[in-house]
Structure 1
Amino acid sequence: MPTVANTLFRPDLLARYSANGPRYTSYPTALQFHDNFDPADYLRAAADPGASGTDLSLYFHIPFCDTVCFYCGCNKVATKNRAHARPYLDRLKREIALQAACFDQQRPVSQLHWGGGTPTFLSHDEMAELMAATRQHFKLLPDAEAEYSIEVDPREASPDTVAHLRKLGFNRMSLGVQDFDPLVQQAINRIQPLGMTTSVMQAARDTGFHSIGVDLIYGLPHQTVDSFSRTLDTMIELAPDRLSVFAYAHMPQIFKMQRQMDPAMLPSAQQRLALLQRVVERLTGAGYVYIGMDHFALPTDELARAQAQRTLQRNFQGYSTRAECDLIGFGASSIGKVGDVYAQNAKHLPGYAAAIDAGELAITRGVRLTADDRLRRDVITQVMCNLELRFDEFEAAYGLRFAETFAPELERLRGSERDGLVSISAGKLEVQMAGRMLVRNIAMVFDRYLGQQTLDRFSRTV
């Protein structure tokens, strides 16, 4: 009987379909955001009385890192001067008040996330101050009814820090690990002994965190199938609830710090496929559900349950269990999604600071979705999250004939159907097990903007 890994991993198809493409944390993607966006569109969407029954999701971007990891493509500020956090925190508090004034104060917050950078760059008192300001202006739901998550660097977090985070209300955490191999860690400038990770994970369990996720990366310098297998086996023993195993995107023309790594030490395309195969073999063999793309979860985790119940969503933090929240972004470079509007804050600290100091929202870019955008966003979300399109649902919601409206797209997918990636019937498109690893490629067929933008701005799909 074929295993999940054997069904998923077909080197010939993976090599043939590998291409640059979006991860679809939004549609349209951020490349379609424009600088002449009118913030009034955001304000109107925020004030829409029809959205009063929609929960809110809050994202806080904390850009500071004590040291820089060479592979990283995040918007960050590397500094050892902790004093830099104070003026940023003061501005975040003012932004919280500005944003809260735009929304119905009775709308509940069912999701909150601190990302970065390294959120635990903040001191314990500063973290408490930020959470207190959030609770002052927004209605945060009780622990059992909401997801309050934070990205944690085990090099920055002691068991006392973990206990402090739990006391503040966080109930989920995502740990950056990438690889346990010392040679790889040295090459990427991230020295993180195993004990640091195990200490944080144990503290999270001891203090009652609901879910623990871990990020790994394959395709890094010096990685081999054997070395990464050891990392995977160790991680399986640690048993996090979720695992994200990302493909490293080497784009030194965009991310200058990547130039610090020797490209000759990067795995070849063939080696990357072998690494990917081992990831799928080890994790599915250990009982993790393959959600799609690069995400795995235990069957008991909310992520796996949400996919089974067809309530899984995508947002700027990846897969999400909270459907249809309006997302408010705080801090430099953060992105919000309110109604049919995406809005992004100034990317760099000076521009962000200037706007907040002037008593204004820091929004500088964005896009208001068209009717076609809304339709295609729904299609792409269903493909990426629920791995199927039920045509009758779209026909009822949008008043169209799906097979006619998307006839060119369905025709383009016939080749993928012959390759066993999808099945197409009179009323349904379904992503097959072999297509889960290539779900971005399938979603790209429905993206009307791809021919108008530079694909090399995106990472490889495999």
Structure 2
Amino acid sequence: MTTADTLFHPELLAKYSANGPRYTSYPTALQFRDDFDIADYTRAAGDPGAADTDLSLYFHIPFCDTVCFYCGCNKVVTKNRARARPYLERLKRELALQAALFDTSRPVSQLHWGGGTPTFLSHDEMAELMAATREHFTLRPDAEGEYSIEIDPREANAKTIVQLRTLGFNRISLGVQDFDPLVQQAVNRIQPLELTTNVIRAARATGFHSISVDLIYGLPYQTVDSFRRTLDTMLSLAPDRLSVFGYAHMPHLFKMQRQIDAAALPSPQERLALLRLVVERLTAAGYVYIGMDHFALPTDELALAQAQRTLHRNFQGYSTRADCDLIAFGASAIGKVGDVYAQNAKDLPAYAAAIDAGRLAITRGIRLTTDDRLRRDIITQLMCNLELRFDEFEAAYGIRFGKTFAPELDRLREFERDGLVSIGGNRIDVLPAGRMLVRNVAMVFDRYLGTQRMERFSRTV
């Protein structure tokens, strides 16, 4: 059994801590090109060879009623709920534009609303968007699909949860971050425990398949004692999944983070103590450490997929659906269709102008090369399934793995000496001590890192 003692090695975490990608894609978004040829996207969308694969849909709802100082998401902070209406109308037009490119007999087995705050939309507006989605695409039955939405408990109540379940959502993800009042005040997210408890209880009562909660360690004024109370409270609510992210303080990139008092942030030693606490408490409570920031109950689909070597990563993080084409809707949303990544215009005016002109809002993207696909698959295997079998890649890509990646394997020898990985004649295994540093392991196979501005990435620890 994986425990805190096998996972957590402070001297190794300190040694390998560095800025690096989270690999929700490879190549990362920093490699997307402004001169991307949108014809590459439309060709990939119409590829008849994809007829046997399902579709995944992502909708970005950027609006938030208030700003959380730690947040690095693409968002629009406003109390004017009327701003949702023109955005909704454009999403509906974008649905029609995208549907025209695809064989819509391909079923949708995954759908996600993110933000921002998706429940910024009114109940009627949410129903309208889901109806438009079903008009253009075919969603699999409830038992066969993953239909998820991000919830801010300050923007939802029991009636909202019933509405979402009625619309077809069967998974929810709740933002919490920390229950401590001092921490909440410091990051401008006042969220009483009662709000979170009510949403979780309502989700259970209405038959949601999975409840996930986001927490953050490394926020201002957090201590080991205060965050232990948060963890213990959360464990009493027993969510199916927990994502416990390390706060990335990058005020040079995210203006609102300048509102956070850097002097109140935990020291590097305190961050490590917080991280150890997270691993100890969650693994002792029976959660499986999936990788990076994610924990899941052994019965959860993420844990089961990892055990079956079918876990995957996409732009929303870990996923159990590996082969879907991901169609993205809304400002800044990123899709993956075939060997193409494509991102919509990030700001609302540019997004609106494109949709109003009757064209897709894609402004950046990249078409993957054979080398990109190979390295993407390697990174995915390491980060998701914690192992890599050379023969599978040799059969799929016609290479001799040891020869093609001789420099990378040489670099991994230090990782092996430190007990992070094991390198055999035909495989690489990420050992328990390496699971918390799996981003570092993956970075060895990233050929773009030498050309990227590393300060744009968060720390790996």
TM-score normalised over the length of structure 2? 1.00
**Alpha-carbon shift at residue 8 of structure 1 (Å):** 1.0
AA in 2 matched with 1:233: D
C-alpha separation between the residues in 2 aligned to 1:127 and 1:147?
17
Counterpart of 1:407?
A: 406
Counterpart of 2:46?
A: 47
C-alpha separation between the residues in 1 aligned to 2:293 and 2:31?
24
Secondary structure in structure 1 of the residue aligned to 2:49? helix
C-alpha separation between the residues in 2 aligned to 1:38 and 1:295?
35
Secondary structure in structure 1 of the residue aligned to 2:176? strand
AA in 2 matched with 1:101: A
C-alpha separation between the residues in 2 aligned to 1:419 and 1:291?
21
Secondary structure in structure 2 of the residue aligned to 1:155? helix
Secondary structure in structure 2 of the residue aligned to 1:145? coil
AA in 1 matched with 2:137: F
Secondary structure in structure 2 of the residue aligned to 1:296? strand
- 1:302-358 residue CA offsets vs partner (Å, 9 max, x unmatched): 000000000000000000011110000000000000000000000000000000000
Counterpart of 1:27?
A: 26
Matched, 1:193 2:215: no
Matched, 1:452 2:451: yes
Alignment of structure 1 residues 192-231 onto 2, 5 Å = 192-231=191-230
AA in 1 matched with 2:20: G
Counterpart of 2:233?
A: 234
AA in 2 matched with 1:228: F
- 1:397-431 residue CA offsets vs partner (Å, 9 max, x unmatched): 11111111111001100000010000000001000
C-alpha separation between the residues in 1 aligned to 2:443 and 2:97?
37
C-alpha separation between the residues in 1 aligned to 2:85 and 2:284?
47
Secondary structure in structure 2 of the residue aligned to 1:413? helix
C-alpha separation between the residues in 2 aligned to 1:365 and 1:297?
34
Matched, 1:174 2:178: no
- 1:362-389 residue CA offsets vs partner (Å, 9 max, x unmatched): 0000000001000000000000100000
Secondary structure in structure 2 of the residue aligned to 1:234? helix
- 1:421-459 residue CA offsets vs partner (Å, 9 max, x unmatched): 000000010000010000000000000000001111000
C-alpha separation between the residues in 2 aligned to 1:107 and 1:184?
46
Contact 2:411/2:444 (<8 A) preserved: yes
**Alpha-carbon shift at residue 4 of structure 1 (Å):** 1.1
Secondary structure in structure 2 of the residue aligned to 1:245? strand
Secondary structure in structure 1 of the residue aligned to 2:422? strand
AA in 1 matched with 2:70: Y
Counterpart of 1:101?
A: 100
AA in 2 matched with 1:245: V
C-alpha separation between the residues in 1 aligned to 2:48 and 2:59?
25
AA in 2 matched with 1:160: K
Secondary structure in structure 1 of the residue aligned to 2:154? coil
C-alpha separation between the residues in 2 aligned to 1:294 and 1:416?
21
**Alpha-carbon shift at residue 275 of structure 1 (Å):** 0.2
C-alpha separation between the residues in 2 aligned to 1:214 and 1:3?
22
Counterpart of 1:308?
A: 307
C-alpha separation between the residues in 2 aligned to 1:324 and 1:452?
29
C-alpha separation between the residues in 2 aligned to 1:443 and 1:389?
11
C-alpha separation between the residues in 2 aligned to 1:371 and 1:292?
27
- 1:18-45 residue CA offsets vs partner (Å, 9 max, x unmatched): 0000000000000000100000000000
Counterpart of 2:157?
A: 158
Alignment of structure 1 residues 340-379 onto 2, 5 Å = 340-379=339-378
Secondary structure in structure 2 of the residue aligned to 1:212? strand
**Alpha-carbon shift at residue 361 of structure 1 (Å):** 0.2
Counterpart of 1:264?
A: 263
Counterpart of 1:144?
A: 143
C-alpha separation between the residues in 2 aligned to 1:20 and 1:325?
30
C-alpha separation between the residues in 2 aligned to 1:232 and 1:455?
32
C-alpha separation between the residues in 1 aligned to 2:401 and 2:238?
42
Secondary structure in structure 2 of the residue aligned to 1:412? helix
Q: What is the aligned-residue identity percentage?
A: 81
C-alpha separation between the residues in 1 aligned to 2:266 and 2:242?
22
C-alpha separation between the residues in 1 aligned to 2:292 and 2:401?
25
Counterpart of 2:295?
A: 296
- In structure 2, the CA distance between the partners of 1:456 and 1:205, relative to structure 1 (3 Å rule), is same
C-alpha separation between the residues in 1 aligned to 2:42 and 2:282?
44
Alignment of structure 1 residues 73-112 onto 2, 5 Å = 73-112=72-111
AA in 2 matched with 1:403: G
Contact 2:2/2:432 (<8 A) preserved: no
Counterpart of 1:418?
A: 417
Counterpart of 1:391?
A: 390
Matched, 1:63 2:92: no
Q: Which runs of 5+ in 2 are unaligned?
A: none
Counterpart of 2:335?
A: 336
AA in 1 matched with 2:285: A
AA in 2 matched with 1:176: G
Contact 2:341/2:366 (<8 A) preserved: yes
C-alpha separation between the residues in 2 aligned to 1:29 and 1:337?
12
AA in 2 matched with 1:35: D
- 1:222-244 residue CA offsets vs partner (Å, 9 max, x unmatched): 00000000000111110000000
AA in 2 matched with 1:313: H
AA in 2 matched with 1:20: N
**Alpha-carbon shift at residue 3 of structure 1 (Å):** 6.4
AA in 2 matched with 1:259: R
AA in 2 matched with 1:225: V
C-alpha separation between the residues in 2 aligned to 1:214 and 1:437?
20
Q: Which runs of 5+ in 1 are unaligned?
A: none
C-alpha separation between the residues in 2 aligned to 1:307 and 1:9?
20
C-alpha separation between the residues in 2 aligned to 1:317 and 1:197?
22
TM-score normalised over the length of structure 1? 0.99
Matched, 1:430 2:407: no
C-alpha separation between the residues in 2 aligned to 1:27 and 1:52?
24
Runs of 4+ in 1 over 4 A off after TM superposition: none
C-alpha separation between the residues in 2 aligned to 1:461 and 1:51?
35
